[in-house]
Amino acid sequence: KAGVTQTPRYLIKTRGQQVTLSCSPISGHRSVSWYQQTPGQGLQFLFEYFSETQRNKGNFPGRFSGRQFSNSRSEMNVSTLELGDSALYLCASSPRGGGGYEQYFGPGTRLTVT
């Protein structure tokens, strides 16, 4: 089976812009979660989608949003980018919903905000 894919792999944006990141889960996985990784905070949970519904959300501002499509593919959007949003954004899929079980991660999108 193909693994989790994320596009683009690298992105450079300017403060104040918005960005959309894309994730395709492992075939058959209906749960998709997003995580932010920074050197200071480590890996932090953003949100989880299951069957097109956001089920869980981490402690991030409303500028961070997402959605999931009927084919389980997911997108994450960050509006009004700030310098502190520079991070590696990881998408993970799971055959089980809830976000608390084994997650299979993609390679991530490296976002740099200047």
Partner 1 sequence: DQQVKQNSPSLSVQEGRISILNCDYTNSMFDYFLWYKKYPAEGPTFLISISSIKDKNEDGRFTVFLNKSAKHLSLHIVPSQPGDSAVYFCAASLGGGGADGLTFGKGTHLIIQP
- Residues at the interface with partner 1 (CB under 8 A): 4, 33, 35, 42-48, 55-56, 58, 90, 92, 98-108
Span between the terminal Cα atoms of the chain, in Å = 37
Q: What is the C-alpha separation between 92 and 34, in angstroms, rounded? A: 6
**CA angle in degrees (0–180, nearest 5) for 81-68-78:** 0
Nearer to partner 1, 76 or 106 (CB): 106
Smallest distance, Å, CB 15 to partner 1? 26
Smallest distance, Å, CB 45 to partner 1? 3
Nearer to partner 1, 14 or 42 (CB): 42
Smallest distance, Å, CB 43 to partner 1? 4
Report which of 65, 64, 58, 67 is spatially closest to residue 84, judged by C-alpha positions.
64
Which phi and psi angles does 105 have, rounded to 5°?
-90, 150
Nearer to partner 1, 72 or 103 (CB): 103
